[in-house]
Structure 1
Amino acid sequence: MNSIKEKIQSILNQLPDDCSIEDIQYHLYVLEKIRQGLQVAEREPILQQEEVEGLLSKWLIE
């Protein structure tokens, strides 16, 4: 597995040379949120389609 430093270097290599610090921060933020989401997905039970539809039906107006 790549170290965090290698992952950041990969991100920097993919960004244009004239990117801003905010661009870099945004990409790091998005990757961290994805990482956190994947960790939650591994821990939490998986819902079936019918269960999700039942939960959403309480919020959605048809």
Structure 2
Amino acid sequence: MQNLKQETIELIKRLPDNCSLEDIMYELYFKQKVKRGLKELKEGKVVSHEEVKKRMSKWLKSSGH
């Protein structure tokens, strides 16, 4: 497994030469969020689709929608 610095360098190398700093930051942010999500999934820290629907319904009712 590569270390974080090497992973970041490889990610930047794959981006187009004319990308902006904002593009680079977005890609790093996206990669970090995906890694965190996969880790949480592996640890069983997930919410089922049905539970999300229940929570959204409850939230919408309480907010007057």
Instruction: Give the TM-score taking structure 1 as reference length.
Output: 0.71
User: 1:46 deviation in Å?
Assistant: 7.0
Alignment CA distance shift 1:13-1:43 (3 Å): same
Q: Structure with the greater relative contact order (CA < 8 A, sep ≥ 6): 1 or 2?
A: 1
User: 1:26 deviation in Å?
Assistant: 0.2
| Runs of 4+ with >3 A deviation | 54-59
Instruction: Give the TM-score taking structure 2 as reference length.
Output: 0.68
Percentage of identical aligned residues:
31
The gaps in structure 2 that reach 5 residues or longer are: 58-65
Note the aligned Cα RMSD (angstroms): 2.1
The gaps in structure 1 that reach 5 residues or longer are: none
Alignment CA distance shift 1:46-1:30 (3 Å): closer
Q: Does structure 1 residue 18 correspond to structure 2 residue 18?
A: yes
